[in-house]
Amino acid sequence: MVVEPDGVGDENAFDPVLIADKLRELADDYDEKVIQPLIKNVREAAADQVVTAFGDSVDNLCKSWVAEAAEVAPEKQLLKASVMVGLYLKRKCPDLTSVIQNAMAVFLNARLGSWVTQQGGWDEAASH
């Protein structure tokens, strides 16, 4: 995708439509490459494969983000992505709510359990 600057050399030529079109294009691309395959994988996965599909989706989301700041722990990125993916799936696939909750619990315990313990538990991890 090529990003074109808006109003090169002419500050009065600001075009919000160009910016909106680019944002829409980025969102459509993300939906096609990340979100739709995620929903397809979760719907098609057997119960024992949902955790793997969920984890792969969270990992992909984390890799696609630009780090918020150098001090943001990868574990916090993983936690944030897990919650976002879980909530999105719950909203888009309400019939899979219990499967998604189980996948999140297994994933978070496996991938973040020791980190949460090192922080002093969920209350302490949330306060950092």
Query: Is the model's pLDDT at 105 over the cut of 80?
Result: yes
For residues 104 and 82, is the Cβ–Cβ distance under 8 A?
yes
**pTM (predicted TM-score):** 0.56
Distance CA 43, CA 53 (A): 10
Share of the chain above pLDDT 70, in %: 77
Residue range 36-86, pLDDT digits in tens: 887 787 777 776 687 888 888 788 777 765 544 455 577 877 888 888 888
User: Domain limits of the chain?
Assistant: 14-127
> Residues with Cβ < 8 Å from 99, sequence gap 6 or more?
42, 47, 50
Average pLDDT estimate for 11-16:
66
